[in-house]
Amino acid sequence: MNTGIPVSGATNFRDVGGLHAGAQRSRAGILFRSGNLAHLDDDGRSALRALGIRRIIDLRDDDEVRWAPSLVDGLDLQTTRVPLFLGSVGSFFEEDLSLDEMYRRLVEDSAAGVVDVVRGIVTDQPVLVHCTVGKDRTGVTVALALRAAGVDEDAVVSDYARTEALLPAERNRKVLQRLRAMYPASAHLEDLATRSPASVMSAALARVDASYGSAGDYLLSHGLTEDELRELRRVLIADE
């Protein structure tokens, strides 16, 4: 199993290469995922430079970017903004959504954005997709891209579930303390902020399959072209 990559100042940073795709595997060094880049230091920027990252796809909304701008000045790369949530991140805590419901809304309400992310993956590599924590928006979008490319479902779900182990305990403690003060009645707060259960991603992918036939068909039904889907598979899956 691939491991987290130490990029100083970035949380939950990893390569999604090496995942089983039938008899093949996803390519290493092509698609990366992480939390935000608001705390990158010189070593972290050097690590991104060494990885050859050409494009960053930032899934955060305007407020998140304003409060925590990415510290990528000086890097030779392009940043694409694709805000995925329809509404603020805080609204999910205010509504006390479950992860299941959040992912259902993300898949259905932000489909055009998901397609834009996939197009960005196809356009430039190596590419980094990130949101604030790298758990939900990043998790769902990367999962759909990997499944559409042909990565095995159990491998996709396992990669998603790894986030929980990659979030630092001290980070979780501080975040939960702050959020509990803001949303004391929230029953799903800890799940929303810190957890990535495999069962939730399995259910989300099952809903996509039931509604559209497959993750690839989901993308096609929302504007991705057949040529783009073939290119996604070529880019992400290594020849044996």
pLDDT tens column, 100-141: 999 999 999 999 999 999 999 999 999 999 999 999 999 999
**Cα–Cα distance measured from residue 132 to residue 9, given in angstroms and rounded to the nearest whole number:** 13
Decide if pLDDT at 87 tops 70. no
User: How many contiguous H segments (helices) and E segments (strands) does the chain have?
Assistant: 13, 8
- Residue 103 near residue 192 (C-beta atoms within 8 A): no
**Phi-psi group of 74: left, alpha or beta (phi > 0 → left; psi -120 to 50 → alpha; rest → beta):** left
Point out which residues pair with 81 in neighbouring strands. 58
DSSP3 helix / strand / coil % (the chain, rounded to 5)? 50, 10, 35
Q: What are phi and psi of 218, to 5 degrees?
A: -60, -50
Decide if pLDDT at 1 tops 50. no
The pLDDT score that the predictor gives to residue 240 is 64
pTM of the predicted structure, to 2 decimals = 0.95
| DSSP strands (E only) in the chain | 14-15, 20-21, 24-26, 31-34, 55-58, 78-81, 127-130, 237-238
pLDDT tens column, 213-231: 999 999 999 999 999 999 9
The pLDDT score that the predictor gives to residue 156 is 98
**Domain map (residue ranges) of the chain:** 14-231
The pLDDT score that the predictor gives to residue 4 is 67
**Cα–Cα distance measured from residue 116 to residue 63, given in angstroms and rounded to the nearest whole number:** 20
Rg of the chain over CA atoms, in angstroms?
17
What 3-state DSSP class applies to 209? Answer: helix
**Cα–Cα distance measured from residue 131 to residue 140, given in angstroms and rounded to the nearest whole number:** 11
Banded model confidence at residue 6, pLDDT cuts 50, 70, 90 = confident
Banded model confidence at residue 5, pLDDT cuts 50, 70, 90 = confident
Contacts (Cβ under 8 Å, ≥6 apart) of 47: 5, 6, 7, 8
| CATH 3.90.190.10 corresponds to the domain 14-231 | yes
pLDDT tens column, 23-62: 999 999 999 999 999 999 999 999 999 999 999 999 999 9
Please give the full DSSP string across 152-192, using - where no structure is assigned.
Answer: -HHHHHHHHHTHHHHS-HHHHHHHHHHHHHH-TT-SSHHHH
- Residue 171 near residue 194 (C-beta atoms within 8 A): no
Contacts (Cβ under 8 Å, ≥6 apart) of 202: 153, 157
**Cα–Cα distance measured from residue 206 to residue 211, given in angstroms and rounded to the nearest whole number:** 9
